Amino acid sequence: MRLAPRVPYDGIMHIKCKVGWIKVQCEDLSLFGVKFRYLNGSTCEHHEWVKLKLNIDNRTTVFNGRIYREENRHAVALFNEDDLTISELLGRFFTDRIRRSGRCPYCKERCPCEGASCPSCGMPIDFTQADLVQTIRRLKVGDVIAGRLPEEVKSKVCEENTDFVGSCERMTRVFDLIRRFAPTDYPVLILGETGTGKELTARAIHEKSPRREKAFIAINCGAIPGELLEAELFGYEKGAFTGAHRRKPGKIEQANGGTLFLDEIGELPLELQVKLLRFLEDYTFSRVGGNETIKADVRLIAATNGDLRELVRKGKFREDLYYRLKVLSIELPPLRDRGEDKVLMAKYFLEKFKREQEKSIEGFTDEAIELIENYSWPGNVRELINVMKKAVVMTDKRFIDAVDLDVDTSKVSKNIGGQRLFNLKEHMDKLEKELVEKAFNVSKGNISKMASMLGVSRPTVYKLIEKHNLA
Ligand SMILES: Nc1ncnc2c1ncn2[C@@H]1O[C@H](COP(=O)(O)OP(=O)(O)OP(=O)(O)O)[C@@H](O)[C@H]1O
Ligand SMILES: [Mg+2]
C-alpha cells in the first residue's frame, strides 16, 4: 500500500531538462512526485535533474525534481523540495481532493474525510501538516518495522518504490547493517540467493546515504559480454574501437557523486577485475582508448548469488578484490529461513495486489498459510510476489486457498495437514477454468471454435461457460 495516496491530475506540465522546456501530460500526483506521459516525441533522461512547472490550484508553481522511472513513454518525476514546501504546496491540494471525493484513498470506503485519519481504516488523510508529510517522505527501509508510526498504520505501510518488508531476526540484522553501512563511502558486498532482495538492499543503502540525491546506477556484469562491459563501465574515447564515433562516458562517470551497483560481480572478467581494483585504490581511471586520468566520486556496491570464495579458489575471482569488497558485507537469508516473515510478506503482498486489482479477498485459509510456511520458496521473495499476484488475479473466493497458490508441491517440506493441496478435483477444476477461459478469449466467445479447441461438444461448452461464470 502507498502511504502517500495518488490523486488523478490531468493537467499539462512543463519540464526543463537538458533539451530545454518540454510539455508533458500529467496523469497523477503524490507527495513523492508526479506521473506523466511524454508528448511529441521529446523525452528527458533517466535520473536527470529537472525543473517542473505545474499548475496547482490555479497557481503556477515550479518544483525541482528528478526523473525516476520510465516505461512506454510514461515516467515519474520525484520532487526534491523540503517537506514544509511539499505540505504547503501539495498537502492542501491532496486534502481538498480527498475531502471533495468523499472517499478514502486507501480503503475506498465512503467517509466525510474531515479528520486527520479515515474512520474506517485509520490511514492518514490530512496532508497539511508538515510533520506528517515529513514522516511519510522520510519513511525508508526498516522504519516501517522500527516503528515511527502508530500501530494501526505501521502494520499497513511501506514507502513508495522502496517497500522493504521483514521483521524476523535475520532481516532486522540486515536493516541494522543497511543503516550502519549507508553513511560510509566504503564498498559493500551483498550476498544472497536469487530473488532475496540484493538490488533492493543496494538501493536502500543508497537511499539512506548522503548520496541519495545523486544517481544510483546499476549494471549487471553477467548480462553484458566482457568486451562491451569495459566500455560500458569505464566509457570510451572517440575512435577507441570500430563504431566508437564519439566519446561516451561510462557508468562510473554517470554514477559520479552517487552509487554504482555491480550486480553479479562474480561474472566480471579477470582483466576487468584488475581494472576495478585499480579504480578502488584511488578512484581514478581512464576511458577505453584514452590516456586522461579521470577521478570519480563513486560508492561501489556489489552483489552476487554465487560463491565468491569458491570462485577465488578456482582462480576465477581475484583474491585481493574479494578481500577488498567483503569488508562490509550483508548476507540476505533465503526466504525459507525467514520464519514468520514468509506469512507476513504473503499478507503484505496480498494486501498490495488486492488493492491494485480492487478485489475483496479477506485473507488466507489455514491450508494456504501452512503451505506458505512449509514451501521451500527456491525463487525467494520474487517467487512469492509472483505467486501472490497470480493467486489474486485468479481467485474468485473470499479466502486464498492452498490450491490457489501455484507452487511446485514437490518442494513442500512436510505433508500439509489439510488434504486440499492434493485435492485432484479442485486442481482439475482450476485447470479446466483456465483452459476454458483461454479458449473463450482466443475464440472471442465463438462456441464452435471453443468446442473444437477444447475437444468437447457444443453443449459441453455451454455447460462449462455456465459453470465457470464466463457469460
Ligand atoms: N524484503 C522484501 N520486501 C519486499 N519486497 C522485496 C523484499 N525483498 C525482495 N523484494 C522484491 O523481490 C523482488 C526481487 O528482489 P531483487 O531484485 O532485489 O532480488 P535480487 O536478490 O537482486 O535477485 P536476483 O539475484 O535474481 O537479481 C523485487 O521486486 C523486490 O522489490
Ligand atoms: Mg538482482
Q: What are 72-120's pLDDT values in tens digits?
A: 778 888 888 888 888 888 888 888 888 888 888 777 778 877 888 888 7
Does 381 contact ligand 1 (Cβ within 6 A)? yes
- Which residues, in sequence order, are bridge partners of residue 2? 158
For CATH 3.40.50.300, the residue range(s) in the chain are 169-331
Q: What is the per-residue pLDDT for 4?
A: 67
For CATH 2.40.10.220, the residue range(s) in the chain are 7-136
Which of 16-20, 43-47, 373-377 is predicted with the least confidence, judged by mean pLDDT? 43-47
Q: What are 192-237's pLDDT values in tens digits?
A: 999 999 999 999 999 889 999 899 999 999 999 888 999 999 999 9
Rounded to 5°, the CA angle 195-197-200 comes to 135
Q: What is the per-residue pLDDT for 89?
A: 85
For CATH 1.10.8.60, the residue range(s) in the chain are 336-464
195: left (phi over 0), alpha (psi -120 to 50) or beta: left
For residue 392, what pLDDT band results from cuts at 50, 70 and 90?
very high
Task: Give the predicted TM-score (pTM) of the model.
Answer: 0.63
Cα–Cα dist 157/355, whole Å: 13
pLDDT above 90 for 136: no
Which of 138-147, 226-235, 422-431 is predicted with the least confidence, judged by mean pLDDT? 138-147
Cα–Cα dist 335/340, whole Å: 10
215 CA to middle of ligand 1, Å? 20
Q: What is the per-residue pLDDT for 16?
A: 93
- Which residues, in sequence order, are bridge partners of residue 124? 117
For residue 417, what pLDDT band results from cuts at 50, 70 and 90?
low
Choice from 141, 220, 382 to test ligand 1 binding pocket (greatest atom count within 8 A of CB): 382
Cα–Cα dist 25/9, whole Å: 9
Does 333 contact ligand 1 (Cβ within 6 A)? no
Q: Are 73 and 25 in contact (CB under 8 A)?
A: no
Does 166 contact ligand 1 (Cβ within 6 A)? yes
Q: Are 402 and 365 in contact (CB under 8 A)?
A: yes
pLDDT above 50 for 141: no
Which of 54-63, 189-198, 369-378 is predicted with the least confidence, judged by mean pLDDT? 54-63
Backbone angles phi, psi at 65, to 5 degrees: -160, -175
Class of the 169-331 domain?
alpha beta
Q: What is the per-residue pLDDT for 69?
A: 64
Cα–Cα dist 93/207, whole Å: 27
76 vs 255, residue with greater confidence: 255
* Mean pLDDT along residues 294-302: 97
pLDDT above 70 for 2: no
- Which residues, in sequence order, are bridge partners of residue 69? 76
Nearest protein Cα to ligand 1, atom 12 = 382
Q: Are 228 and 220 in contact (CB under 8 A)?
A: no
For residue 139, what pLDDT band results from cuts at 50, 70 and 90?
low
Which atom of ligand 1 lies closest to the CA of 348?
4
Cell output for 8: 488523478
Cα–Cα dist 285/277, whole Å: 10
Ranked by mean pLDDT, the top range of 37-46, 157-166, 358-367 is: 358-367
Fold for the domain defined by 336-464: Helicase, Ruva Protein; domain 3 (1.10.8)
61 CA to middle of ligand 1, Å? 37
Across the beta sheet with 299-304, the strand order is 216-220, 259-263, 299-304, 188-191, 329-331
Cα–Cα dist 440/438, whole Å: 5
Q: What are 337-354's pLDDT values in tens digits?
A: 999 889 989 988 898 888
Fold for the domain defined by 7-136: Thrombin, subunit H (2.40.10)
Cα–Cα dist 195/199, whole Å: 9
